[in-house]
A = this chain, B = another copy of it.
Amino acid sequence: MFKRSPSLTEQVKSHLKKRIINDTFESGRIPAETDLAAELKVSRNTIRDALSRLEAEGTIFRKQGAGTFVNKAGLLVKTRLEEIVSYETMIREYGYTPTVHLISTEETASDPQLEAELNLKPGAHLLVIRKLFMADDKPVIFTLTTIPTEIIQLAYTPDDIRAPITDFLRRFCNHEFGYYLSEIVPLISPNWLAKKLDLPQSQTAILSFEEIAYNKNNDPVAKACSYFNNNLLHLRLIRRPGH
């Protein structure tokens, strides 16, 4: 029934998610793990891995001894911060049409703070990219991405820069993206930013992300700052007790 790639677990997960969304499971109850394993011809461990991922993203919940159930409220949550999606996808999941404007690119020298954060030599050269994301032509996210020029190995066009940074790192820097270490910082929007995000010039509180991108070798490879217009997007998160 399933192929070898992507992983069985992933195929089972999306198969089950489709059935959940199409409401194939009456009364919100999902069949027992052993039954699913028999039906889909995979081992129970594979079923469990898939269900664990669906549970982590709030699609289902499980109760030992009772069963596995659809989390109707969880289905309404579109994006969760702890899982990266491109800003275009995020905007689309809120029901808007996304567009990306490349505002500017610029080369500068690094400052001591960035050198520490990205583990650079003093005076390293940096590529600074400014982008504006629109939802139905209303500006919602402004981003400022900083990449050391020394890791860029191929020539690129403005279109390549419009793509998500994870794609740019893979295609032009030969770095597989690993994860973001993010800090959430509240801010009173300065005038230049209020103008870009179409906020009232009177002081408005906004959210910003300051993120260091790490590659699969755990080396810091870029810094990304994002500024959100909270009128349209909501930043949500599922928080669970540590094990």
Which residues of A are at the interface with B, using a C-beta cutoff of 8 A? 10, 13, 53, 57-58, 61, 63, 69, 71, 73-74, 77, 81-85, 166, 177-188, 203-207, 211, 216-218, 220, 230, 234-243
Contact = CB atoms under 8 A, between A and B. Distances in A.
B184 A187 contact: no
Given A61-B218, A186-B230, A206-B186, A181 B82 contact: no
A166 to B, nearest CB: 7
A113 to B, nearest CB: 15
Given A186-B187, A230-B185, A81 B237 contact: yes
Given A53-B243, A166-B241, A236 B188 contact: no
B13 A243 contact: yes
Contacts of A180: 238-240
A186 to B, nearest CB: 4
29 contacts: A10-B243, A58-B181, A63-B216, A63-B217, A73-B181, A81-B184, A81-B237, A82-B82, A82-B237, A82-B239, A83-B241, A83-B242, A84-B240, A84-B241, A84-B242, A166-B241, A177-B241, A181-B238, A183-B234, A183-B237, A184-B207, A184-B236, A185-B230, A186-B186, A186-B187, A186-B207, A187-B205, A203-B203, A207-B207
Given A77-B181, A216-B63, A242 B85 contact: yes
Contact of A71 (B69, B188, B218): B218
Contacts of A77: 181
Contacts of A239: 81-84, 179-180, 182, 211
Contacts of A218: 61, 69, 71, 73
